Chain A
């Protein structure tokens, strides 16, 4: 029963959003819903924090493997949340110098800013930077020109990799730049042609296909055929 109501809620919400695109007076309905949607998105972040808290508390209380790391995560979470919510060390705002909560929570010099700048930035940045090492290792050990398709792919990758740096200019500088019949063969020009012709065409066809797929999913949610989301979690993503 409650599942059917939920499916109905989703379907009605979707249809109303579609109609509001065409029926001008419904625009205010759309912006109101958007406001609720945004608040729900903000609360989803709170939900994310709460579920992290719950998970780590469970690990710690059960003395599960690696509970020490869970404790570190917990302390880091609570400390960051605390200094963020209470605006610890935030310089007062120019407009409201006397108000304790007048400043921006992550303004330069505040505790939250310090955590952001010196803990969060370096770790997330380095975690992403590690991928450069992994891709190098995979380059040597996994990317094999084992068939024509792979050869095509790798050769294109070479052209783009070299053509998008000075290496391309250097390697093919002997090709005259002022003879239009051959100048496109210079690596920097060739990589531009690959982007403007082949990537444009290939990606265009792919996003057309994806758009049709997204539309089909939307239709199925509207008429209640697709209910997979009911077993799903919530929250935004990045990435």
Chain B
């Protein structure tokens, strides 16, 4: 229907059937840029509480009580992976809590650059917590790039040191299972966060708390406190809200049209809208 509205002469240079797509892109751009601008004005933007983040304090507290270390695994990918970046941001938070409680934190990494980034982050966290002397860079170390060798070494370390809290935040593949299994065996509280969809079920089944997909990025944006990141989060929420109401309206229209039957007044409109959005007839 929208496609028909375009002038035939324009079809030569403009893809008329893509008008709905253009509208959708414009809405997303407006929502995201508008929200970032709003965040930059300094207006506080509230982010809801995330159970996984609340659990950090509880887990670190327990580790302190038991006098056992905390394990943090920032995934097995390099710093070019956004999940690793988000994981290291969350590491900053965990390290700060650990510094406040004076708990020992252990960070084995699978990439040397991640080790460097993790050391910087943890050092800054200890400084912020007012305990720069307690920072020990030797507990943040590079193991090996190789996936299974990394897991074997980390598992062995877990068996020896028996961490009371294990955090897995980053990009994980098959090793997620083995890590969570070993954490369970030493009786640790486990908190995980990843956007790697294939590993989420295993984390949810084996850990006490899991930040699921977008929740993981939201936690990282919230903890980073950067207006651009928080603004982007808000912008995405705005788009989701639009999707929510458009979806609800679409279902209502579709149902009424179906109840009216194929000759009903609404049917042509519903079919045209659906087809224009790429949903078939």
Contacts and interface: CB of A to CB of B under 8 A. Distances in A.
B80 A142 contact: no
Contacts of A215: 25, 28, 32, 239
A231 B80 CA distance: 7
Contacts of B91: none
Interface in B212-264: 213-214, 217, 228, 232, 235-236, 239-240, 243
Contact of B180 (A25, A142, A149, A232): A142
A47 to B, nearest CB: 14
Contact of B79 (A142, A223, A232): A232
A196 B213 CA distance: 22
A153 interface: yes
A52 B129 CA distance: 41
A134 B178 CA distance: 7
Contacts of B204: 149-150, 153
Contact of B206 (A18, A142, A210, A223): A142
A220 interface: yes
A174 interface: no
Contacts, number: 108
Nearest to B28: A215
A208 B214 CA distance: 11
State the majority secondary structure of interface residues on A: helix
Nearest to A204: B247
Nearest to B198: A239
Given A229-B80, A232-B79, A25 B181 contact: no
B171 to A, nearest CB: 11
A206 interface: yes
* Chain B interface category by residue count: 35 or more
A21 B28 contact: no
B206 A143 contact: yes
A231 B201 CA distance: 31
B78 to A, nearest CB: 6
B208 interface: yes
Interface stretch (B10-18, B65-73, B133-141): B10-18
Contacts of A217: 82
Given A210-B214, A216-B28, A141 B184 contact: yes
Given A138-B180, A142-B205, A229-B80, 14 more contacts: A18-B25, A23-B14, A134-B174, A134-B177, A138-B206, A141-B181, A142-B180, A150-B204, A150-B205, A215-B32, A219-B28, A219-B29, A219-B32, A220-B32
Interface of B: 11-15, 18, 21-22, 25, 28-29, 32-33, 36, 78-80, 82, 85, 148, 173-174, 177-178, 180-181, 184-185, 197, 201-202, 204-206, 208, 213-214, 217, 228, 232, 235-236, 239-240, 243
